[in-house]
């Protein structure tokens, strides 16, 4: 995979949602094998003490809405590459995990280990807001399962669905992956979220 081109300050009119300062943008074009040319977008507030930053990615060419299902069974699967855009829904049915896109969703290029670490972050954040003991117990149990998965000691199915077609799990192993184009009906049921760039233009 090679970085092809970089663009600094491509957008000149973005304002920080926290402090209204200017936002610095950085675009990078990557050629990802089995997926194609992809734009990585990094946005960061220019003000020194402001913590606002976000990322997203898009395929250069328009793609069909797709579902990727990957059968995870060992530690070796942790390095399987994942392209997760801001419009991606992540599911792990065996764990009851479903993360739908929201206005705060980010896009990034990672691997399955990276996805599991992000899910852990979401669960830990959720745990802090829980009050009911049973829900707290279930959430802790889920955090433990995901930790086992990160050690390669759980089998599960990682499902990515993206109505914009900007997400993918990249594997050549036909025994592990199934890829399906979503029907119009299936696509309409999915949330799109909002790319971090929407709402920042002033």
The single residue among 52, 95, 108, 127 that binds Zn ion, judged by CB under 5 A, is 52
Q: Interface with Zn ion by CB under 5 A: which range of 25-33, 48-56, 110-118, 123-131?
A: 48-56
Q: Which residue has the tokens 């399955």?
A: 112
Provide the mask over 80-119, with x wherever binding to Zn ion is found by CB under 5 A and - wherever it is not.
Answer: ----------------------------------------
Question: Which two tokens mark 6?
Answer: 């970089």
Contact 160, 168 (CB under 8 A): yes
Q: Interface with Zn ion by CB under 5 A: which range of 8-16, 54-62, 125-133, 166-174?
A: 8-16
Q: How many residues are listed for the chain in this entry?
A: 202
Q: Interface with Zn ion by CB under 5 A: which range of 44-52, 99-107, 113-121, 157-165?
A: 44-52
Distance CA 99, CA 97 (A): 7
**Rg over CA atoms, the chain:** 18
Closest separation in Å from C-beta 202 to Zn ion: 13
Distance CA 97, CA 84 (A): 16
Residues 10-29 that bind Zn ion (CB under 5 A): 16, 18-19, 21
The single residue among 32, 39, 43, 45 that binds Zn ion, judged by CB under 5 A, is 45
Contact 94, 170 (CB under 8 A): no
Give which of 10, 15, 26, 12 is closest to 202, Cα–Cα: 15
Closest to Zn ion by CB, 54 vs 89, is 54
Residues 135-194 that bind Zn ion (CB under 5 A): none
Closest to Zn ion by CB, 50 vs 197, is 50
Closest separation in Å from C-beta 189 to Zn ion: 35
CA distances from 108 to 37, 81, 174 (A): 14, 11, 24
Closest to Zn ion by CB, 103 vs 147, is 103
Give which of 90, 103, 191, 68 is closest to 146, Cα–Cα: 90
The single residue among 50, 69, 136, 197 that binds Zn ion, judged by CB under 5 A, is 50
List residues near Zn ion by CB under 5 A.
16, 18-19, 21, 45, 47, 50, 52
């Amino acid at each position: 995979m090679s970085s092809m081109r970089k663009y600094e300050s491509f957008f000149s009119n973005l304002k920080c949602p926290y402090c209204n300062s200017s936002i610095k943008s950085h675009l990078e074009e990557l050629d990802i094998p089995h997926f194609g040319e992809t734009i990585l977008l990094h946005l960061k507030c220019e003000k020194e003490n402001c913590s606002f930053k976000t990322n997203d990615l898009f395929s250069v060419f328009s793609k069909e809405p797709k579902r990727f299902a990957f059968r995870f069974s060992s530690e070796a699967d942790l390095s399987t590459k994942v392209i997760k855009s801001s419009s991606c829904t992540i599911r792990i049915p065996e764990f009851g995990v479903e993360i739908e896109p929201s206005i705060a969703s980010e896009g990034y290029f990672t691997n399955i280990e990276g996805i599991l670490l992000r899910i852990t972050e979401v669960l830990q954040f959720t745990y802090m807001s829980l009050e009911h003991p049973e829900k707290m117990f279930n959430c802790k149990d889920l955090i433990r399962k995901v930790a086992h998965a990160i050690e390669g000691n759980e089998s599960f199915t990682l499902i990515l669905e993206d109505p914009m077609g900007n997400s993918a799990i990249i594997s050549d192993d036909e025994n592990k992956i199934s890829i399906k184009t979503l029907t119009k009906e299936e696509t309409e049921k999915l949330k799109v979220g909002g790319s971090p760039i929407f709402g920042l233009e002033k």
